[in-house]
């Protein structure tokens, strides 16, 4: 009888621990507003939505790598006979018992909304965050990061192979739409260019998706002319 009681007690404690742990889990929803099918790779695991949104639950708090592919007729990635383009590639931070909604707008920009999870009964909605607000919110906790170093180095090498700077800037225009960067990574992109007008263009393109905007004045060290610094400052003010 004592053995049975001990066994039941152990099972009850285990169930309680599991239930408590489950309450601390978080979730991510990715949605594309243009109604195109998407596919998500989260922490290296693939999730097929078969429509324009997907919710991934039971996630631990902390950093998670997220790559989102959107179905396109002219997409560059062929996956199981379908062509996709990368529309988001970054690392996001999740806190305990939160639901993060990542919305991919038609213009390629990203908006995010963080909501508190109730006790298994849905979401408790907070205020919406636009992209800048979201960055500031997570930057305080040092959750937001730029591109993975391996992927960034690979991308940098690929762009550097372009002979003409006019072609390089086209590549940079594309990658800045779908990736997030640190200020140091933006400076590496700028160093790919000799002409100052292109360096200024890179700094403008990358600003919106830079995760440590408080450091952005550091890119001014790569300008030779005061006029470029003034122009960048004017541009940044217009984005606030």
**123 shares a domain with 65:** yes
Whether 68 shows a pLDDT value over 60: the answer reads yes
Does residue 90 lie within any of the structural domains? yes
Does residue 193 lie within any of the structural domains? yes
Domain CATH code at residue 45: 2.60.40
- Domain count of the fold of the chain: 2
**200 shares a domain with 125:** no
Instruction: DSSP for the chain, please give it.
Output: -HHHHHHHHHHHHHHHHHHHHHHT-EEEEEEETT---EEEEETTEEEE-SSSEEEEEEEPSEEEEEEEEEE-TT-SEEETTEEEEEEEEEEEEE-TTEEEEEEE-TTS-EEEEEEEE-SSS-EEE---B-HHHHHHHHHTTT--B-S-HHHHHHHHHHHHT-SSHHHHHHHHHHHHHHB-B-HHHHHHHHTT-SSHHHHHHHHHHHHTTBS-GGGGGGGGGG-SSHHHHHHHHHHHHHT-
**220 shares a domain with 126:** no
Q: What percent of the chain has pLDDT over 90?
A: 28
Half-sphere exposure of 223 (CA within 13 A, CB side): 21
Give the residue-averaged pLDDT of 184-201: 95
Give the residue-averaged pLDDT of 66-73: 80
pTM for the model: 0.47
**189 shares a domain with 231:** yes
**135 shares a domain with 37:** yes
Does residue 108 lie within any of the structural domains? yes
Q: What is the mean pLDDT of the chain?
A: 77
**156 shares a domain with 107:** no
**223 shares a domain with 187:** yes
Does residue 8 lie within any of the structural domains? no
**129 shares a domain with 230:** no
**220 shares a domain with 130:** no
Residue 211's pLDDT is 83
Q: Which of 28, 91, 88 is nearest to 55 (CA)?
A: 28
Confidence of residue 32 (pLDDT cuts 50, 70, 90): confident
The residue range of the domain holding 171 is 149-238
Q: Which of 139, 171, 199 is the last residue of a domain?
A: 139
Does residue 6 lie within any of the structural domains? no
The answer for residues whose C-beta is within 8 angstroms of residue 56's C-beta and 6 or more apart is 27, 28, 29, 30, 40, 42, 47
**155 shares a domain with 226:** yes
Does residue 17 lie within any of the structural domains? no
**154 shares a domain with 132:** no
**197 shares a domain with 94:** no
Q: Which of 139, 169, 197 is the last residue of a domain?
A: 139
Does residue 201 lie within any of the structural domains? yes
Q: What is the Cα–Cα distance from 225 to 240, expressed in whole angstroms?
A: 24
Does residue 163 lie within any of the structural domains? yes
Whether 155 shows a pLDDT value over 80: the answer reads yes
């Amino acid at each position: 009888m004592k053995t049975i009681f001990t066994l039941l007690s152990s099972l009850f404690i285990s169930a309680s621990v599991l239930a408590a742990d489950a309450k601390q889990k978080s979730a991510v929803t990715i949605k594309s507003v243009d109604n195109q099918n998407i596919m998500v790779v989260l922490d290296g695991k693939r999730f097929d939505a078969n429509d324009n949104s997907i919710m991934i639950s039971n996630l631990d708090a902390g950093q998670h790598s997220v790559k989102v592919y959107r179905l396109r007729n002219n997409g560059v990635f062929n996956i199981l006979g379908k062509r996709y383009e990368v529309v988001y590639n970054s690392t996001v931070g999740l806190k305990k018992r939160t639901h993060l909604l990542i919305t991919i707008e038609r213009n390629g920009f990203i908006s995010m909304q963080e909501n508190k999870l109730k006790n298994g009964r849905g979401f408790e909605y907070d205020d919406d965050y636009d992209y800048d607000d979201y960055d500031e919110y997570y930057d305080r906790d040092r959750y937001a990061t730029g591109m993975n170093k391996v992927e960034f180095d690979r991308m940098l090498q690929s762009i550097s192979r372009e002979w003409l700077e006019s072609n390089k800037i086209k590549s940079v225009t594309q990658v800045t739409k779908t990736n997030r960067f640190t200020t140091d990574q933006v400076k590496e992109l700028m160093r790919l260019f000799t002409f100052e007008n292109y360096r200024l263009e890179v700094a403008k393109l990358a600003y919106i998706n830079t995760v440590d905007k408080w450091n952005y004045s550091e890119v001014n060290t790569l300008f030779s002319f005061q006029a470029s610094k003034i122009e960048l400052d004017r541009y940044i003010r217009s984005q606030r």
